[in-house]
A and B are shown apart, each in its own frame.
Chain A
Amino acid sequence: LAKTTQPISMDSYEGQEVNITCSHNNIATNDYITWYQQFPSQGPRFIIQGYKTKVTNEVASLFIPADRKSSTLSLPRVSLSDTAVYYCLVVVEGGKLIFGQGTELSVKP
């Protein structure tokens, strides 16, 4: 059974680096791993996407090992406004789209 696993919650303080890992068995060979951010009462918003190794953009980095069975979203120097729920999204064998259960990140002053 395809499953995507993330920690349910994480706490951090402003200015720290936060790493959230998603484990995804049965990931499809040729599809991207994508991470989204969701604030209360809003739709998820795209953060970053990668296929392998490391990807970096202006808000985050994404680390993907060679076997692609996990991925780690890295948020450098978080602020209070980064408090949100973070989801990984993968495509598993058969083409099914699977979201992780979401990690609720709480950033404290």
Chain B
Amino acid sequence: DTAVSQTPKYLVTQMGNDKSIKCEQNLGHDTMYWYKQDSKKFLKIMFSYNNKELIINETVPNRFSPKSPDKAHLNLHINSLELGDSAVYFCASSPLARGNEQFFGPGTRLTVL
């Protein structure tokens, strides 16, 4: 009964490919997020959705496109992958938006070769 789950856990792919990471939460939360954690462990928010609507869209290349089919899911699609996209991507959810307590998924380690 995992609260926030992500698939896949590991993703290894070639430059130029398109890939997706899926996230699901069973906590009934209204807000979901995508974060990128680089090799220096910096955590940066990429996107936030509240009730399926985009509320935060940080300076992220438009090769990254989030999609929220329903409140419990927030998927991340990445086009034309680049070496610099290699990182760990975390999905999170919270009952309310902004600084509310967030519950994180286990992360997806993306390696672009």
Contacts and interface: CB of A to CB of B under 8 A. Distances in A.
Given A97-B56, A99-B43, A43 B107 contact: yes
A87 B99 contact: no
A102 B48 CA distance: 21
Interface residues of B, number: 23
Contact of A34 (B41, B43, B99): B99
Interface of A: 28, 31-34, 36, 41-46, 49, 85, 87, 89-91, 95-97, 99, 101-102, 104
Interface of B: 4, 33, 40-45, 48, 56, 58, 90, 92, 98-107
A18 B67 CA distance: 41
A103 to B, nearest CB: 10
Contacts of A43: 4, 90, 92, 104-107
B71 to A, nearest CB: 20
A49 B101 contact: yes
B106 A102 contact: no
B35 to A, nearest CB: 8
Contacts of A104: 41
Which of B43, B48, B102: most chain A CB closer than 10 A? B43
B101 A46 contact: yes
Contacts of B44: 99
21 contacts: A31-B99, A32-B99, A32-B100, A36-B102, A41-B107, A42-B107, A43-B104, A43-B105, A44-B43, A44-B90, A44-B104, A45-B104, A49-B101, A91-B98, A95-B98, A96-B45, A96-B58, A101-B40, A101-B41, A102-B41, A104-B41
